[in-house]
Homo-oligomer: A and B are copies of this chain.
């Protein structure tokens, strides 16, 4: 009974591995079977179709994504800057679960419509969560709900870009530079957001 689970994992891993080169839509059932070391028909003992496999990969990729978000949210606040910690955690998770993040990055724009929509929806959820977290920060009381959402979207997009850049980094040095850049960008972004409405409302952040 655990043999089934083992083969299932092997299929998922093979699909992720093959998906590193091309998009999942270009991966065939027979390629996966050959990679796993089973006959093509045995594939159906585990998934109804390649599409179903894709959905399962979406599921487990988002487990990794949400694990990262959880780590970021409950990072030790004593570890200095939130920005430094968040970028480090992002990089760590992207590195550890490279296949999952690569999968999300690819299928987000190139996957079947259904998969694309699920990924976008999930990212939108992360945006909302970030918005509620941001609302607790000091100095943001002057923001409207709309501004809060817009800032969250901006930050999430920046983090997505950073994750993609890390996935594409060709050397540890290059990745270190990407992380440095990302940290600077997040700080710039926070400076801009914190000076945003206060700018429009009277230049004084302390004004009631």
Contacts and interface: CB of A to CB of B under 8 A. Distances in A.
Interface of A: 22-23, 25-26, 105-106, 108-110, 112, 120, 147, 150-151, 153-154, 157-158, 160-161, 164, 168, 181, 184-185, 187-193, 195-196, 199
Given A23-B26, A109-B109, A110-B106, A190 B192 contact: yes
A185 to B, nearest CB: 5
A195 B191 contact: yes
A118 B35 CA distance: 30
A199 B189 contact: no
A60 B205 CA distance: 49
A191 B23 CA distance: 39
| Number of copies of this kind of chain in the complex | 2
A200 to B, nearest CB: 10
Contacts of A112: 22
Q: Top 4 A-B pairs ranked by shortest CB distance?
A: A192-B192, A110-B110, A157-B161, A191-B192
Contacts of A150: 181, 184-185, 188
Given A154-B158, A154-B189, A191-B191, 19 more contacts: A22-B23, A23-B23, A23-B25, A23-B110, A25-B25, A106-B109, A109-B109, A109-B164, A150-B181, A153-B185, A154-B188, A157-B157, A158-B158, A188-B193, A188-B196, A189-B192, A190-B192, A191-B196, A192-B192
A119 B105 CA distance: 16
21 contacts: A22-B25, A22-B110, A23-B26, A25-B26, A106-B110, A109-B109, A109-B164, A120-B168, A150-B185, A150-B188, A151-B188, A153-B185, A157-B158, A160-B161, A161-B161, A188-B192, A189-B189, A189-B192, A191-B195, A192-B192, A192-B193
